[in-house]
């Protein structure tokens, strides 16, 4: 069990590192390549959220005979479209709030709804919970930098 969860943890950790860098840039009000840390944070968040929802979508496609399959697929699309829509609106703080809610919703969807379709791998769920918690805390730090 430990040998199979270590690569997943390392892959997730490398995915969280850019969030940490963009959080530091956002809190120090630093620009990189002409973009603020908040803009970079929101853009990277939308990419990662799209990736998570794509993974869920792929899992549902593999086993699409479940009664909730269509709802899960529509919900993953809705979360992704809302996230990218707020990015395109040009209000990074609103985008980060929507992304935070998107990460929470995607995690809930994966843990609760996909249990109805698949057997749940608890090791993967624990790692995902830890990484999503860190990402959500970083979202809150970017939203409220003065605290």
> What is the predicted pLDDT for the residue at 139?
94
Q: Which domain holds residue 47?
A: 2-143
Place of tokens 């620009």: 31
3-state helix, strand, coil in the chain (%, to 5): 80, 5, 15
Q: Give the CATH number of the domain where residue 64 resides.
A: 1.20.140
Positions of the chain with pLDDT under 70: 1-5, 64-66, 113-125, 146-147
Q: Which of 76, 42, 36 is nearest to 59 (CA)?
A: 76
> What is the predicted pLDDT for the residue at 46?
95
Q: How many helices (H) and strands (E) does the chain have?
A: 5, 2
> What is the predicted pLDDT for the residue at 136?
93
> What is the predicted pLDDT for the residue at 18?
92
Place of tokens 């918690």: 133
Our count of domains for the chain comes to 1
């Amino acid at each position: 069990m430990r040998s199979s969860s270590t690569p997943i943890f390392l892959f997730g950790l490398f995915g969280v590192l850019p969030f940490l860098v963009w959080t530091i840039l956002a809190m120090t009000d630093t620009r990189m390549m002409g973009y603020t840390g908040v803009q970079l944070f929101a853009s990277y968040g939308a990419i990662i959220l799209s990736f998570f929802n794509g993974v869920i979508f792929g899992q549902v496609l593999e086993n699409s005979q479940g009664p909730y399959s269509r709802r899960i697929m529509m919900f993953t699309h809705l979360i992704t479209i809302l996230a990218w829509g707020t990015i395109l609106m040009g209000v990074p703080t609103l985008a980060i709030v929507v992304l935070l809610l998107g990460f929470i919703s995607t995690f809930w969807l994966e843990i609760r709804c996909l249990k109805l379709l698949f057997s749940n791998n608890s090791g993967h769920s624990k790692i995902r919970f830890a990484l999503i918690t860190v990402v959500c805390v970083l979202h809150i730090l970017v939203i409220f930098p003065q605290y």
